[in-house]
Amino acid sequence: MRARLSDIAQQAEVSEATVSRVLNDRPGVSAETRQAVLTALDVLGYERPARLRKRSAGLVGLVVPELDNPIFPAFAQIIENSLAQQGFTPVLCTQTPGGVTEDEYVEMLLDRQVSGIVFVSGLHADSTSDPERYRKLLARPLPIVLVNGYAEGIEAPFISCDDRTAGDLAVSHLAALGHRKIGLITGPDRYFPVKRKIEGYRAAVSRLGLEEIISLSLFGVEGGDAAASRLLDRGVTGFVCGSDLMALGAIRAARQRGLRVPEDVSIVGYDDSPLIAFTDPPLTTVRQPVRAMAVAAVRALVDEIKGHPAPHSEYIFRPELVVRGSTAVLKS
């Protein structure tokens, strides 16, 4: 024990007496010093005494799409941190094309007896998927929270960004800059967030007396490039994009034609993904309130787990237009 105490004291750069006080959970040690001793234990491969081990309140599954789109790691990081602060151990399940499916991940999570699951942009966002999978989970009963998507008749909390307002904000901004040919490029319309963005876009162009010009494609840079090319052929000068990555594709499509952004073409993204402020040009975008949504999702799930269920309805969070360098007044 003496040798161990000396090793730990040396690693933590404290006295052996301090190590002894920490290991016996006695007062008189600052939180910073206590953490240094515990870290030394971990580094040296010693097992923490049972009284010093933080007991997990349980495992919680977090199912997210592929992490290529930086908005999903942003959601995952905040949700994981929030769960850990509540004493839960997050289990991250990342989907990739051709990889493990959402349903297969759910089975794995159930085998591990998770206390609940948070789904981010999962099958609940796809209008062609069967929502019965979520009813079965609730019938177990297993608390779930669904982020960015909506399925009718599911008695669970839904956390969503107001995509209708997002579409309206982008169109209104471009119209105020003098653009009259404003197009929307976004992903497949079987997804509820896409449907709502289209509704917001349509309402805005109708209100402003503008032509409706929509091009649907695959999410991602390549999809944005292809959809923007089609709209450039129709003389569009203002682009409302369904994601920041699609907006980057639109910028690429414009530059391939010798057009300048924002002098010739203005482009608005969606999400305000990490690092998107540092693109060339910095991207004007509609920001999802990711932190507020993620924290609300965890709070709702923890309340459900503790038997204090939140109202089973959809909580809508308002997005924010962030104006940067990819939009400008249209020169006649």
Contact 60, 116 (CB under 8 A): yes
Is the pLDDT confidence value at 260 over 60?
yes
- Placement of tokens 């944005």 in the chain: 224
Q: Give tens-digit pLDDT for 195-210.
A: 999 999 999 999 999 9
For the ranges 34-38, 266-270, 303-307, the lowest mean pLDDT is seen at 34-38
Could you count the other beta carbons within 10 Å of the beta carbon of residue 323? Answer: 13
Average pLDDT over residues 30-41: 84
Using the predicted structure, report yes or no on whether residue 3 has a pLDDT greater than 80. no
Which pLDDT belongs to residue 44? 82
> How far is the C-alpha of 5 from the C-alpha of 168, rounded, in Å?
64
Nearest one of 269, 285, 193 to 224, comparing CA atoms: 269
Q: Which domains does the chain have, with CATH numbers?
A: 2-52 (1.10.260.40), 58-161+289-319 (3.40.50.2300), 163-287 (3.40.50.2300)
Residue 332 predicted with pLDDT over 70 = no
Helices (H), 162-289: 163-176, 192-207, 221-232, 244-256
Distance CA 314, CA 158 (A): 4
- Do residues 157 and 311 make contact, with C-beta atoms less than 8 angstroms apart? yes
Q: What is the mean pLDDT of residues 62-74?
A: 91
Q: Is the pLDDT of residue 25 over 50?
A: yes
pLDDT at 208: 97
Name the more confident of 22 and 251.
251
Burial label for 43, CB within 10 Å (0-12, 13-18, 19+), is: exposed
- Band (pLDDT 50/70/90 cuts) for residue 1 is very low
List residues bridging with 120 in a β-sheet: 147
Residue 76: per-residue pLDDT: 95
The DSSP 8-state label assigned to residue 55 in this structure reads: P
Q: Which regions of 29-181 does DSSP assign to beta strands (E)?
A: 58-64, 88-94, 116-120, 144-147, 158-161
- 92 pairs with which residues across the strands? 62
The residue among 145, 179, 186, 157 whose CA lies nearest residue 286 is 186
What is the per-residue pLDDT across 125-143, written as a single tens digit (0 to 9) for each?
999 999 999 999 999 999 9
In the structure encoding, which two tokens stand for residue 267, read together? 């482009």
Which of residues 181 and 57 earns the better pLDDT score? 181
Give the chain's end-to-end CA distance (angstroms, integer). 82
| CA–CA distance, 253 with 224 (Å, rounded to integer) | 8
Asked if residue 282 lies in contact with residue 325, where contact means CB atoms within 8 angstroms, the answer is yes
- Residue that the structure tokens 């079987």 belong to: 190
Q: What local confidence, expressed as pLDDT, does residue 2 receive?
A: 47
**Once rounded to an integer, what is the mean pLDDT over residues 244-261?**
97
Percent of the chain topping pLDDT 70: 97
Residue pLDDT, tens place only, 234-246:
999 999 999 999 9
pLDDT at 43: 79
Q: Is the pLDDT of residue 49 over 90?
A: no
Q: What is the pLDDT of residue 53?
A: 63
More confident residue, 90 or 96: 90
β-pairing, 284-287 vs 320-322, is antiparallel
Sheet containing 213-216, strands listed edge to edge, beginning at the edge strand earlier in sequence: 213-216, 182-186, 238-241, 266-271, 284-287, 320-322
Q: Give me the mean pLDDT over the 79-104 stretch.
A: 90
Looking at the predicted structure, is the pLDDT value of residue 286 above 80? yes
pTM attached to this predicted model: 0.82
Share the mean pLDDT of the chain. Answer: 92
Residues 6+ apart with CB under 8 A from 249: 220, 221, 222, 223, 224, 225, 226, 227, 228
Q: Which of 160, 230, 246, 231 is nearest to 195 (CA)?
A: 160
